[in-house]
Amino acid sequence: MSQDSIIIVKDLVKKFGNFIANDHLTFDVYQGEIFGFLGANGAGKTTAIRILCGLSTPTSGKVSVAGYDAYKQTEKIKQNIGYMSQRFSLYEDLTAFENIQFYGGIYGLSSKEIKSRSAKLFDRLGFEEFQKKQIKDIPLGWRQKLAFSVAIFHKPKIVFLDEPTGGVDPITRRQFWDLIYQAANDGITIFVTTHYMDEAEYCNRASIMVDGRIADIDTPLNMIKKYNANSMDDVFYILARKMVD
Amino acid sequence: MNKFWGFVIKEFYHIFRDKRTMLVLFGMPVVMMLLFGFVVTNEIKDARIAILDMSNDNTTREITNKILSSGYFQLQERLSSDKEIDGVFKKGNVKEVIVFDRNFEKDLYRKGISNVQLITDASDANQAKMIAEYTSGIIRNYGLTLNQEQNLPFKINTEYKMFYNPELKGVYMFVPGIMAMILMLVSALMTSISIVREKEMGTMEVLLVSPLRPIQIVLGKVMPYVFLSFINAVVIILVSLYVFKLPIQGSIVLLLAECFLFIVLALSIGILISTVTANQQVAMLFSMVALMLPTMLLSGFIYPVENMPLILQGLCQLMPPKWFIEIVKGIMLKGGGLEKVWDETLVLLGMTILLLTLSASKFKKRLE
């Protein structure tokens, strides 16, 4: 894995009035890695993701995503990232193909390109039977896979996954991670938040946020060793408790 | 631009695939028109009456004929004494009794004045008032022609005055109001619901993260409804033209342009509602309460503004439909050009700009 940084965050501060949501965050995400962005609810993850996606402006600090500045070049950032949330974000009354057509379209792909890419996609996923079905008639696991494929359909440099496996059974979750690995192999950088600490162990590196600050960044294995823990779950508890004390 | 049209097409899929939306969009306007035009109308037709003619001369017979041939009334019974009046009402099969005074014709020609009494069944107060007004209208009319023919100042006393349009058509009053109501409902309600639905489904997040600009998102959501609302406006005009035979006195281009302005205004209200509500039910409730009631009650649609208490009259001035209804009445019924409805148009335009700015800034703020 190359060590080129595709996301550079230095001393990022985001305040809402007196409340400090992000308190001097500093981290890099490397090109092509799977980066886990962990933290409890309210730790400031969502705020940071919104900044990285160009939806909100930092109060201070330096933020660069895919080589673009988060203050001035949000349009460029948006063009180069993909995004998927827990809610899958597909239109239920549109067919699988129409969803792809729509999302491909708003990223500026030509209809010819959309057709050839989606044909490959449906073929690779074994998805042909669902192509002309409305999303509401497609099983949940398939919807999730489709949502992910849609998020990376325009071949973004980075894809942000905001708790993508929430509310999904373990087998589907495992299959979903296979897709993530595939995308990473294709050179897409994965930025993923999750509540499931076993999933954290699938990441190349992870950061753990507590109360608006980053408590630690390392490979899962190193963290488990460092804190003398059995799993990432333990690491998470140890860090959360340490910061509170 | 290509992105934008993709968005609009997607929006049309949503609309055409949702039966409820389709029903509200296209069923409701026609049903409402027909309902208001035929059922909830303050016209009367074939009201049953009884006549007590104590004079029974040429004049009273002529008036009776006029009343019965108007199409509004149907003779149920002829009474021979005033003692029967009570009984006739109690049986409930008569809405009005017309009583001609003794020596009606003689009094009219000798004293120049004679009396007719209209007794109505006021258990339905509105209808009673209407029937009495219609009757007195016909009698007055007779008195006027008599005056012209004889060139003498005859006077037939009746208690009511004519408030109505010359042909006594209720539709004249309702069409502008229904137009305001339907355009308001379709534009504001449907856009607010469709924007809020994206929020609920989580698709709004994805749209915001995409290279689409917020303004493109809003325009893309709103465009189809501008188009469909405009079609609705045309349908309403066609129905009033061909079903209710209501002529358009003024310029139809001007009328459509004013409709367009009102649609844009209603849409900006819809966007505003969508920024302050979190789910479809709330948006729907909000639209109903905040839009429907004022449109129906505070716009002069059903109740004339002039008859309201001062505070409510002031409130009416703030209601966009009130101005729109005045414009439509001005163009359709009075045949006025832009110079006649200029003031009202300016007010609507001002309101539209205010609402658009407000909703745009609100929408932006929510993104922060």
pLDDT tens-place string over residues A203-235: 999 999 988 899 899 999 999 999 998 888 889
What is the pLDDT, as a whole number, of residue A244? 63
Beta carbons of B6 and A105 less than 8 angstroms apart: yes
What is the residue whose two structure tokens read 């190193």? A222
ipTM of the complex model: 0.87
Q: Which of A86, A88, A98 minimises the CB distance to B13?
A: A98
- Chains A, B: CB contacts within 8 A come to 72
Q: Cβ B14–A93 below 8 Å, yes or no?
A: yes
Minimal C-alpha gap between A89 and chain B (Å): 4
Minimal C-alpha gap between A219 and chain B (Å): 29
For chain A, give the percent of residues with pLDDT over 90: 56
CA distances from B129 to A111, B49, B160 (A): 67, 14, 9
Q: Which residues contact A75 (CB under 8 A, 6 or more apart)?
A: A54, B211
Distance (Å, whole) CA A82 – CA A34: 14
* Angle (deg, nearest 10), helices B252-276 and B214-242: 140
**What is the average pLDDT across A37-42?**
86
Q: Is A108 on the interface with B (CB under 8 A)?
A: yes
Q: Which residues contact A96 (CB under 8 A, 6 or more apart)?
A: A122, A127, A130, A131, A132, A133, A135, A138, A146
What is the residue whose two structure tokens read 């979190």? B278
Residues 134-153 of A with CB under 8 A from B: 134
Sorted by where each starts, the structural domains of chain B and their CATH numbers stand as 2-40+169-367 (no CATH), 47-157 (3.40.1710.10)
Q: Cβ B210–A89 below 8 Å, yes or no?
A: no
**What is the average pLDDT across A137-152?**
89
Q: Are strands A34-39 and A205-210 parallel, antiparallel or unpaired?
A: parallel
Q: Cβ A106–B6 below 8 Å, yes or no?
A: yes
Q: Which residues contact B335 (CB under 8 A, 6 or more apart)?
A: B249, B250
| A107 contacts on B by Cβ (under 8 Å) | 3, 210-211
* Angle (deg, nearest 10), helices B125-150 and B58-68: 130
**Exposed/middle/buried for A211, CB within 10 Å: 0-12, 13-18, 19+?**
middle
Of A27 and B213, the one with more pLDDT? A27
Q: Which of A79, A85, A93 minimises the CB distance to B211?
A: A79
Distance (Å, whole) CA A235 – CA A191: 20
Q: Is A106 on the interface with B (CB under 8 A)?
A: yes
Residue B51: closest CA among B60, B43, B59:
B60
Q: Is A103 on the interface with B (CB under 8 A)?
A: yes
Q: Cβ A93–B210 below 8 Å, yes or no?
A: no
What is the pLDDT, as a whole number, of residue B163? 31
| Number of domains observed in the structure of chain A | 1
Q: Cβ A75–B211 below 8 Å, yes or no?
A: yes
pLDDT digits (tens, 9 = 90+) for A150-159: 999 999 999 9
Q: Cβ B209–A88 below 8 Å, yes or no?
A: no
Distance (Å, whole) CA A128 – CA A147: 15
Q: Which of A56, A106, A134 minimises the CB distance to B210?
A: A106
Q: Cβ B208–A75 below 8 Å, yes or no?
A: no
What is the pLDDT, as a whole number, of residue B164? 31
Q: Which residues contact A67 (CB under 8 A, 6 or more apart)?
A: A6
| A81 contacts on B by Cβ (under 8 Å) | 209
Q: Which regions in chain B score pLDDT beneath 50?
A: 159-168
**Exposed/middle/buried for A30, CB within 10 Å: 0-12, 13-18, 19+?**
middle
Minimal C-alpha gap between B286 and chain A (Å): 25
Q: Cβ A93–B18 below 8 Å, yes or no?
A: yes
What is the pLDDT, as a whole number, of residue A217? 93
Beta carbons of A84 and A168 less than 8 angstroms apart: no
| CATH, residue A193 | 3.40.50.300
Q: Which of A84, A89, A105 minimises the CB distance to B3?
A: A105
Residue B24: closest CA among B143, B150, B193:
B193
Dihedral sign, CA of A69, A71, A76, A77? positive
What is the pLDDT, as a whole number, of residue A26? 94
Domain that residue A26 falls in: 5-244
Q: Which of B14, B212, B368 minimises the CB distance to A106?
A: B212
Minimal C-alpha gap between A175 and chain B (Å): 23
